[in-house]
Structure 1
Amino acid sequence: MYVPPGWPAEVRPPGDPDWESSAVAWLLDAVPPDYRAYGVLRRHPLALARMAGYHVRSAIEAARAGYRGAAVDLKDHLPPHAIEAVLEAYRQEGPRLVRLAASIDLVERALRGEPFVPRM
């Protein structure tokens, strides 16, 4: 089964045995641990994917806001090298979150039954 670029390595391709179980395990790792307490999210992977997508997209917005304000908010409390290290952490975390959101979107599309076809 073809999976598009950005498909998470931890998730089996759609149609493989237990692919949805691997998707649930991976999605639960993408959200706060408290989400594991809700059985409905294990029973309905599409609901979990949807919630994970919202959670990660919110984290992206929070990281962008944090990056924009870090230098001003921290200038009276941290030395310049520490502020630069904080900004570098944001510069690394932002793209990671964007990739994660894209992967979650792919898994959600597969859970909805959308087939993936290689593009030429």
Structure 2
Amino acid sequence: MPQTASATLSPDWPCQVKAPGSHDWERTAIRWLRDLLPARYAAYSSFNRHPVLLTRHARIQLQHEIRAVRVALETCRAELPSLGVAESVIENTIRMYAVELDQLARLARGVRLITDALLVNGAPRRR
């Protein structure tokens, strides 16, 4: 049974994306997903015609970003002092990375929800 606009959305559902089943929700989902990718990916029309490809690539992109932030977080205490970075800056950097990890995890949950909604609603193919 397809989701409808009246369905209760998860708190992780991106606020920029209309509810699944509502008019034009796929377009808002595609726009939000494209914003997660580097700008050069907008030139690839396959992502726009096949939203499931876009969700897949956004998921992969976020996985790599999460790994990069984790590595930066795990190594900053060992590497930053030798680069002349002050302890207070290192502490702020650690907090920044922790906030970024939380944000990336939230975005990844949003991508997962959109993927599920696209699959439930028939993953539209645009021409």
Q: TM-score, normalised by structure 1?
A: 0.90
Task: Give the % identical residues.
Answer: 33
In the alignment, the residues of structure 1 paired with residue 65 and residue 28 of structure 2 have an alpha-carbon distance, to the nearest angstrom, of 23
Q: List per-residue Cα deviations over 1:54-93 (Å, max 9, x = no partner).
A: 1101111111111000111111121111111211110110
Question: Is 1:37 matched with 2:43?
Answer: yes
Structure 1 residue 5 displacement after superposition: 2.6
Q: Establish whether residue 60 from structure 1 lines up as the match of residue 66 from structure 2.
A: yes
TM-score by length of 2: 0.85
Alpha-carbon RMSD: 1.1
Counterpart amino acid of 2:113?
L
1:94 correspondence with 2:92: no
Distance (Å, rounded) in 2 between the aligned partners of 1:76 and 1:61: 23
What residue in structure 1 maps to residue 28 of structure 2?
22
Structure 2 portions without partners, runs of 5+: 1-5, 122-127
- What is the match of residue 46 of structure 1? 52
Runs of at least 4 residues of structure 1 off by over 6 A?
Answer: none
